[in-house]
Amino acid sequence: METEKTTEEGTGRTGERHGEKKTEGTRKGGKGKSGIRLSASFMTGTIALVFLVVGYQVALFLNRAAVSKVLADRSSPDTVYIAVAPDMNDITEYEGTARSGEAGTGNIRITSNAKGYRIDQQTGERIFRGDRYGKAGKRKSVENFRFNPNTVTAEELERLGFSEKQALAIVNYRKKGGRFNRKSDFAKSFVVADSVYRRLEPYIDIPSVDLNRADSAALDALPGIGGYFAQKIIEHRERLGGYSYKEQLMDIYRFDREKYGGLEDMISVSTDGIRPYPLWRLPEDSLRLHPYIGSYAAHGIVLYRENNPVAQWTIDGLDEAGILREGMADKLSKCHIEPPEVLHHH
């Protein structure tokens, strides 16, 4: 009886021990064989990653769609549109090839940022926002023709490639008294891009100021002249009987070479319609008013004419006779003087 009890107890303990091991094994096996239990943080990270991937793909799709729309709106596939920003790092680019059926085919490059102007690859000119494109986005036609920036109209400026605002800015500058004396003055205008000026420079026509025909207002507008010298230039013209060459301006008191050099390229002398100076038939009181003659030489010229044959009536003859002041013979010889032969027709 004791032996059986012991066996039963031993068997019971043994069963209990085996039962405990089985339970522990079941716990360990629950983690390994029946599947890994994922933590909440791992699941959250996985979901977030999925959303990031999906969001990136959506953004990429929208970007490509937007770029395709821009390309489809352009009529020239080989044009570069650039808006230069103060920081060149702000520039973004897209390079690709247009598909058949879109606005042309070929390689297209678009570069843009926030400054507000583009550069045309064909002409190299800067195109400010709204310039050369109408409200509908269609490219305006650009013409090249001769024009005077001091008289060109706003409509003509738009035909030359300027936007409406740029054209009005040039016109308003003139209305406020501004003037373009040289081609380079037009280039300095803030609405005239360097590339635009290079295109238009051969067509800019600013007439020079004719010293024999200009009024006081035209002369006053010349740089460094003003009202005082404008009046002196007209008075000197009357005494000369008309300018024969531009350098005669420096005969005016205090009109030095520096002042002359500041406007030499803006003035001209046309003798068409200007009557030659009648040196050989004017009376003494008229001769003395000429800047190169004066009272003493005027009296001497009259005596010279009375005592010498017409064949000897020359500037060199007056100079050799000591009638003219030093240096005046050279200046008179450059003037348009009526020849003595004209006297035979009077």
Rounded-to-integer distance, Cα 97 and Cα 245, Å: 63
Q: Output the pTM of the full model.
A: 0.57
Alpha-carbon Rg of the chain, whole angstroms?
47
For residues 181 and 223, is the Cβ–Cβ distance under 8 A? yes
Q: Which residues pair with 77 in a beta bridge?
A: none
Please give the domain boundaries of the chain with CATH numbers for all domains. Answer: 68-122 (no CATH), 129-207 (no CATH), 208-274 (1.10.150.320), 277-346 (no CATH)
End-to-end CA distance of the chain: 182
Q: Which residues pair with 96 in a beta bridge?
A: 108
Closest CA to 276 of 212, 230, 322: 212
- Write the CB contacts of 11 (distance below 8 Å, at least 6 apart in sequence): none
Rounded-to-integer distance, Cα 341 and Cα 41, Å: 118
Rounded-to-integer distance, Cα 337 and Cα 277, Å: 5
Instruction: Indicate the SS3 state at residue 26.
Output: helix
> How many alpha carbons lie under 13 Å from residue 158 in its C-beta half-sphere?
12
Per-residue pLDDT of the chain (346 residues; tens, 9 = 90+): 444 444 444 444 444 444 444 444 444 444 444 445 667 888 888 888 888 888 888 888 887 776 565 445 544 444 333 333 343 333 333 333 333 333 333 333 333 344 455 555 555 555 554 444 444 445 568 899 999 999 999 999 999 999 999 999 999 999 998 889 999 999 999 999 999 999 999 999 999 999 999 999 999 989 999 999 999 999 999 999 999 999 999 999 999 999 999 999 999 999 887 889 999 999 999 999 999 999 999 999 999 999 999 999 999 999 999 999 999 999 999 999 999 876 655 5
Rounded-to-integer distance, Cα 126 and Cα 190, Å: 12
> How many alpha carbons lie under 13 Å from residue 2 in its C-beta half-sphere?
0
Closest CA to 281 of 221, 339, 216, 233: 339
For 61, phi then psi, to 5°, come to -65, -45
For residues 120 and 79, is the Cβ–Cβ distance under 8 A? yes
Rounded-to-integer distance, Cα 264 and Cα 113, Å: 45
Rounded-to-integer distance, Cα 170 and Cα 188, Å: 11
- Both tokens of 190, joined, read 């803030």
- Both tokens of 286, joined, read 């008229």
